[in-house]
Amino acid sequence: MILKAEHIAKSFGRKNVLKDISFQLEAGSITGVVGENGSGKSVLMEIIVGLHSAHRGSVKIIGSIGYCPQRAVVFPHLTVQEHFDYFSVAYGVNSGLSKVRYEELLLYFNYKKYQYEKIINLSGGTQQKLNLSIALLHEPNLLILDEPYNGFDWDTYQRFWNYTTELKNRGCAILIVTHLLNEKVRLDQIYQLENGILV
C-alpha cells in the first residue's frame, strides 16, 4: 500500500465539497478519478499532497510524491534547464542523477531543443511537458496527475501513456484526475467523484 485516505471531508463555507472519501492505492497500479468540473477532484488531490488541510480524515503515504498540478508550477523568466536545476535541489536529487534524469525526460518528451528557452517563450503544451517532467524528476513512489495532458499533441499524449505504463511496471502508484477519460483499458480502477462522494 502506497496511499491510504480515510474519511476525508472538506468544506468551503456552507458548501461540502468532499463529504466522506476513503480509498487506497497499491504499488504498481494506475487509478483514475473522474467527475465534472467543480466536483472537487483537484481539492482532493491538493489534500493528498498537503496543499490543503481536510476538515476531517487522514492521509497516509509511504514513500515520495510527484505532483503534476493542473496549472503548471513554472517561473516565466527561468529557462527549462534552470527549472530542472531548481527542482533537483528542492527534491534533494544529486547533480549526477539530476543530469541523467534531465536528459532522459527532455529526449523522451521531445523538447530538448527548448532547454535554454525561457518559459515565457514556450507554448502551453511545452510548458505542460516541463510540468510533468518536474513531477517525474525524483522518480517518486506515488505520482499524482491532475489533468496531466492538457495541451499535449497526439505524439506526446501517446508518449505520456507509454511512460506511465513503464512507471507502473517499476512499482509506482499513479493517480490520474480528469474529466475526460478515453483510456479506461489502461487503468486498474476508476472512481467517480460526485456530490462529494467517491464511488
- What digits encode the pLDDT tens for the residues 21-70? 999 999 999 999 988 877 888 899 999 998 888 989 999 999 999 999 88
Pick from 153, 132, 121: nearest CA to 66: 132
Among residues 100, 97, 90, 34, which one has the least CA distance to residue 67? Answer: 90
72 has a pLDDT exceeding 90: no
Cell 527549472: give the residue.
83
Cell 464511488, located at residue = 199
Is a pLDDT exceeding 80 seen at residue 179? no
pLDDT, residue 79, reads 97
Question: Which residue segments constitute the domains of the chain, with CATH numbers given?
Answer: 3-63+141-198 (3.40.50.300), 77-131 (no CATH)
pLDDT digits (tens, 9 = 90+) for 101-157: 989 999 999 999 999 999 999 999 999 999 999 999 999 999 999 888 878 899 999
Return the axis-axis angle of helices 80-91 and 124-136, rounded to nearest 10°.
20
pLDDT at position 76 is 94
Q: What is the reported pTM?
A: 0.89
Integer CA distances (angstroms), 27 to 51, 63, 177, in order: 23, 11, 18
Q: How far apart are CA 131 and CA 117, in angstroms?
A: 15
Q: What pLDDT score was predicted for residue 66? A: 93
